Each structure stands twice: as C-alpha cells, then as structure tokens.
A and B are shown apart, each in its own frame.
Chain A
Amino acid sequence: MSHRVLILAGGISHERDISLKSGRRVADALTDAGCEVEIREPDGELIGHLMASRPDVVWSTLHGAVGEDGSIQDLLSLAQIRYVGSLADGARLAWDKPTAKIIMARHGVQTPTSITLPSSSFRELNAESVLAMVATELSYPLIVKPAQSGSAQGVNQVNNAKEFSKAMIEAFAYGDEVMVERFVEGTELAISVIDLGGGPVALPAVEIVPESGSFGYNERYTPGQTDYFVPARLPATVLEVAAEVAIAAHSALRLRHMSRIDLIVDEEGTPWFLEANVTPGMTETSLLPQAVTASGQTLSETYLSLVEVALR
C-alpha cells in the first residue's frame, strides 16, 4: 500500500525559495518510491486540511522559525499526525544556535567561543565598546551570524572594526539576536545523521570547498561554485572522530530521524561543532542528499525508509 505523504514547503521565511525547492526534490524521490505525495504551503487552511485529509505522514521542509523552532512539530503532535524529523523539544534546542553550542560544550565537544546578544544590549551598553570588547576577547577574524537562521543568510566573516559594525547590521536584518563566534580555520564538513530506528548513523562526511573561499548563499545554491568531496579528504581516524561528534550532537540535542551537523576540523584534526540543522536542505546542491548518495543508497530508498520509520 502506498503511503500518503504531505510535504510542507514554502512559508514566509527568508528561506522560502530553498524550502520550496527542497520540498519538490523530496516529493520527486518519494513519488519515485511509490508514495502518494501532496505538497502544501502552510497557510490559514492547513490545519483544517490536515484534520480532514489525515495524511499518513507529514514531511516538513519548512525553513526558518515556523519550520524549525518546534512550532509545526508541536502542532502536528497535537493533531496526532505522524511526521518525519525531530520532535519539538529537539527542534527548539537545535534551532537556537547558542543553545545548541552550550549543550554540545557540556557534552565535552569543542565549539568556537562565542557571545550572543540582542540588539537592545548594544543600544544600552554602547555598541562601540561592546564590539571592541568582543573583538579583544575573541580576536579577529570573527564570524557574525544571526542566532537563528539558515542558508548562511546574514553570515559574514569580519577582520576589523569597520567590517564588524557592518556585519552586525546585516545580521540583525535577519533576527533580533546575533551570535559572534571565533573563527576556526580548517576543513569545513557537513555530516548527515540518519536514524531509521536502529540508532543514529553518520553518513559519509561531505567536505565543502567553495570557490570564493566562503560558503555563502550563492556558493550553496549555484551549481559549479563549490566543490564537494565525499567522503572528505581527511584521515580515516579524523573522520571517525568527526562522525562520533555528529552522532553525539544528534543525540545530545534530542534530534530524531535525520539531521545535518556542521563542523570545522582544525589543523590538529579536532572537530569543532558549529551548528545542527533540524530541517536540512534537500535541494539539488544540498549536503544531506549528497551524503545519502555517497552511502550507496538512492534518495528514494532513504526517504521512503524515513517515512516508514515515522509511521512506526
């Protein structure tokens, strides 16, 4: 019997476009796997539609707050509709980057030193002084990013005070809290974790080598602008440790079914946790689908398995 899967995609987040693309790619793979798939936007009629149609499984590719902060997960749980992906509590922990970093640090995982502040703090405490202190304590280069967002939107590396101020304005355009993080030089990895009921398993690490040197929005979504190596060109022992960190993150953040853990491996081979993605991108250039393919599975096989595990 084919499964009826409702894919949620779109919404009004800054990553709407990516969400729609991800949703269509997941739909293609599940259709090929024999599922009966419907793609739907979250709108005023969604709840009524869900309650009336009662799909077997919902798969949300929504990015941004509603899709990743636990809201949609809570609503689906309330409606007693099964869904692929993390439960609300895990989503909440991972969606907020500073929270995720605190949890990982408590689990003994290295994560770059950072500070997170709302815009009100800068107004009250004199931004120049705050930025100067942060720059002194963390030292340039620094990474400035919205505390809650994805697709590298509003993320900048800064090397001096002028760039720092500019990056703060850009980051605050995406949200009211900004995280400033010490830059760690090394190899950028994305490790996807899948749990089909037998415990979390790390898929082959994807090494990211953007042509411009920075893995920004354009480098993520324009084919040809970034080279990906799967598995990453690192010693097996290092990759094993990185995979352990990814699994530890998936478990510590109480994520379910799948996640993507972004890491930097420094010159000594130490993996540094950067962030966890509750709803990884599923576009044609996204990282999780690459890892699935490299693992020897087809997207259809793996996505169908995820639907089936959600049904259990």
Chain B
Amino acid sequence: MNGNRKAVYIAGIGIISPLGCGLDATELALRKNNSVIAPLNVFTTKQSPALPVGQIREIPGISSLPRTHQLGIVAAKQAMEGYALAPDAVIIGTTTGGILTTEGLLASGEKNSEKYSRHGLTTVAEEIAQQVGCSGQALTVSTACSSGTVAISMALKMLQSGQAEWVLAGGTDSLCRLTYFGFHSLQLVDPEGSKPFDVNRKGMSVAEGAALLLLTTEKPQHPLGRILGSGLSCDAHHPAAPHPEGKGAASAMLKALNNSRLEPADIDYINLHGTGTPDNDLAESKAVRSVFHNSLPVSSIKGATGHGLAASGAIESAIAAICLQKDFLPANTGCREPDPDCKVSPVLQPENQPVAAVLSNSFGFGGNNACLVISKTDCSHVHVSGNRNAPLTILGKACMTGVGHTKESMAAFLGKETMAGILDLKTVSDKLPARKVRRLKRFSRIALALAAAAHEDSGREQAPHSVFMGSGWGALSETYDFLDKLQKSNEQFPSPIDFVGSVHNSAAGQIAIMHKATGANITSSGGDYSFEQALLAADSFLEMDADKESASAFVLAADEGHPQFSPLFDPSIEPATPLADGGGGFYLCKKAMPGKLSVRLCHYEEQTDTSPESLIAALGGKDTLQLNCGTILAGIPAAWSSVGEEYLKNFTKASGLDIPIIHYRKFTGEFASASAVAAVMAVYLLETGEVNPDKKILVLGFGKNVTAMEFACQ
C-alpha cells in the first residue's frame, strides 16, 4: 500500500542557545563570528579554574522547573508563536532531563521522592506538550549528541506518512555536573575553548540550549524551509569514539541524500557536527570527503556556541533554516589554521551566498549518526513510501525477570507465580562474553542478554540491522556511581567508564557493536511506555525498506532496579515496594510472513479522562473487538492504580468484552519496562496454544498514557 509521501515544512522555530534567544539574535551573533564560550558559572564547582562552556546567561520567565525543561519551554513557545493550534505530537531529544536539579537534591541528602518528580527524561516532553496544549503523543528520544536530529527525523517520518499534520520536535539539554565532569574525565574538553577543525584543537566545550521546530504537512503562509530527508546509522564500533574512517557518518549522509532524492552536488553547504575533538573532526572530514567534493563550503558552529549535546542537532537545524532564508553561511568560529590532515575547507568568515539545500550532521556516543537535509521551500520532490502502523513480524522473543531468563519467567507465569524480583548479576550475564561486558553494569547487561536471547530464539544466523531500545530510567547504576564518586572525591575523580556507561543509549550502542547492527539505532525513554515508544520508532524507521532483509530490528525495553534511585524516581515504587526489574523484546521485521506472529502498536495517547471511545475505535470498534480478541494483558502502574482501574472498567463495559484479563504487573512487579515482558507473555501464550491462537491478545497500558499493542497470527 504505497502512497504519496507528504512534503514537510518548517512553520515555526524556537531557539535559545549561548548565542542568544530567538532567530534574530542567533543570526546576529553568527554574523559577528565571536565565540561566546566562557568559564562555567551556571553552578559552582570546587574545580579551579572552571572550564570554558557554552552557557545561557538568562532564561526568560521564572520557573521552578529543572533547567532542561525551562530551556525547552522557551523554545517551544517561540516556535508556536502566531499559531493558535496544538501540535498532534511533541518529540523531544534530551540526555539530561532533570539531572541538574537531581544533582543538587542528592548533594543535600534529599529523600522526598516528590522532589525528584521531574528527573525522568520523559517529563521534559510531557511538560512541553502540556505547555503547548498537545494531548497527543509526547515522545522522547535519547541518542546522546544526535538526539535532537533523531527527534526531527522521527517527526519527519510521522508527518510524511500522514500519521500527524503538526509536530513540534527538537532537542533540549542543560549544563550539569554529569556532562561537565564526564567529558572532562574523558579528556575531551579543550581548556581554551573549542576550535573545531583547527590544527591546534584540543577538544570540545560542553554547552546547553534548546531548539524546537514546528513542522507541518500543511504549507504555511511563510514557511521557513522544508525538511527533505534524514539518514540514520550506527558505527557499531566503539561506545565513545567515532569510527576512525567515519564509515557510519558517511553512511548516514548518503542515506539522508538518498532519502531526499538528492545527489551530493545538490548540497550547497554542510553544517558539520565538528565538536573540536581531534578524533571527531578527523573522522567527520574523512566521511565528508568520501561523499562530497573538496571545495564544498562546510563549517561547525560549535566553536562559537560550544556543544549543546542533545540540543545541538536541533539548534543547527534552526541555523540551517537561517542559512536558507538569508542565503548566508556561518563561519567555523575559532578555526584559525585549518588542520591540513582534515583536508576540508571550513568557512573562515561569515559569507553571503545562495543556499538552496543544507546537510546538517549530528553524531553521538554509541556511534549514533543522524543527518538531515533541509532545503528552501520551493524545492519540489514527489516520493513514495511504505505503509506505516502495519504489523511487525516477530522472528524471535526474549524476556528477563526476577526469576530468570525467558524459560524460567514463562514457567512462573503459567504456574501463576510471581516473576518479580532482582535477578543476580551473574545469572543476568551468564550467556554474555565476560570480557566484553566487564565494563557494563546492570542495565546494559540486561539489554545485551535480551538481544542475544531474541537473536538465538529466531534461529536466524543474520542479526537484525537496526536497534530500537526503550528504557524508563536508563543506566541508573552508572549514573549513581558517577555522581557518588564525584561527590566523595570532592569533584576530583569522576569515573570515565561510568560516564560513558551512563548515557541512555549506552545499551543500544553495545547491542549494535555486539551484533554489528549498523542501521538506525534509537533509544526512547517514555517512562512506563518506553517499550511502546521503541515500537513506535521501529514502525517509523523500518518503513523504507519493507521488503529488504535489512528491514529488521531488535525492539527491546529494559530497566534496572536500583536500591537508591528507583524509589526516588519511579512514582510506582514506594520505599517499601520490593524492587523488581528486567525487560523483554523481539527480533522483528517489517515483511509480512504468513503463519508467524505479529505485533502492532494500535494506540498511544495521553490519558486525559477515563472514557474509552478512542481506544475502542483504534482497536477497530466494539464488534471487531468482540469477534477477534481473546485475552487482555493489562498494565496499570501502581502510581496510577485508581484512574487506571476505572479506565479498564469503562473499557470492558463499553466494548462488551467478556474475556480473561491478566494484570501483568502482579507477575512482573513494578518497573517501567514491564510492558515489554507482557509483550513476550502474549507471544508465549499464542505460541504454546495456552490461549486460542485464532484470537488476538491485547496488551493494554492504563496510566499516564493509554496504550494498546495487538498480538496475532498472520
């Protein structure tokens, strides 16, 4: 079922960065070509002298929200200016969430979990959605420094396929101790401030900021540009260093061109990732040279702003729009003597010259590469695309719970016994190569074990091409240990290993390395709906090559139970709640295979009241439900028990369904990725004939959001 792929316009832009607030201030600063990188003063450190960073002097408005949220809201309001509508979805790339606030609370010994309620990455997207009146999907991607670009890529797919008409997407990150000391511990910070592509460059400058793009398929009166295409790839090479030849980066650039139906010669300017680290700039220039001719104007703005991490790709997309609007090329601020080894020609002074199409590069930890092509509005192309929201075929499954791997977990489930608990780390890792996982802590080990088991269960030699990972809370052990060591050593000895492991996408990066998965690699973080968000991302990005063997992916979700952090962060875990963790997921492909089981995400919406009409409609209506549906697995997180139960009651009453309902959290225990285990439970029930395989199983989530996954035989 192919259809026309819709054109996606930029209707509004919000930007706040160390360069200033708003497009005009940003353009003015870029034309001045001065670096605004200066010694840190956003928070105090015991380190002297403070390292140079890119920081925002003043955030408009007064707010008690964490800094990342505040920056995102400023950008969101600017982007929405002049539009009375509410976007259909909000997609935010972030790596820091509420961590700066959390760091202060932890240092003061705060034990009240309510104070930590904005720690989670998902709260940034939720807060922004609320501020702009969006009651649709509020999604979060966390792929380190490519997050903002990946968020815009996801919005692009959603809009092109007709799933939404208006999407607000971009990235936001604030400075915090984790990133400030973390990059320093990796010796990646230039003590003089970053000067990308300069022969004497010594590293990056950590920065902060936010940019959001209001994107639409309805041509606005004054469009600011078009997003033509995107390309994602994974190096599958190293957790923190780029592939030395820039192999993954080149692949993402080519995919973005291909996706935009452009040739390399059609690009007028590349906004480079250009962090200023010796390795990044060298690898990126090799990648650029392998795709483009040498004289193409290129520049990195990170010598002016610093590296805004998850925000950087969105900030640079906004700057790409300025380039197109004003026929202007920003300079590679800070570069005095271009590195002859790089063999690219950075723009050394701001220039005015015609620009019709810009390529914007973003790369991150975990070997995550994302590129966007942004063009003037009059660029016209007609494309076709595959169908979205079609069922994904399940080739292999795996789960892990407190009682063991898939086999032990399912045996407990069938025996009506609890699976809840914390599996000892030795059993978690018993099938993983000890040497390769020695640096990894609990979260990454659970995820790696799930990927290996799902691959094994598929019986296929070939591992999947892409990785879509969900996690409510990410690498809690590494985050805790990093901050703990930092504090205990009087801010002197943070651990580089813990910093690299602390990023949300560390597990997905490790899976890519272990399984040589060089396709798209996205980590989503949506609280109790992280698995559903990962499924949604897979659905968006697997569409392009539906018939190819490469259109296959791991779709997994995992969370670790952490004695200190879990009760503080997860509202469903009280201090007295026994800790539970684990996860689950599949080896999936887009190609339909008769006889195989499939999964489809039918519904994902914010829960605004307890009327079930939209859920019933999304599941095909009352009659279809009664005819096809055999079992329900319902997930109601403890923090949402009363409203969740009421919703479920209303749903069964209005749909007239009289079928078994299994409350799966009673088996799995309370943790954010429990729905991933439930998904595997559903497949297990159908495969083993424990339920009628001709009927569908629904895995429903009721709480902050209302979600539905449908499992059926094809």
The answer to whether A and B belong to the same complex is no
Chain B positions near chain A (C-beta within 8 angstroms):
none
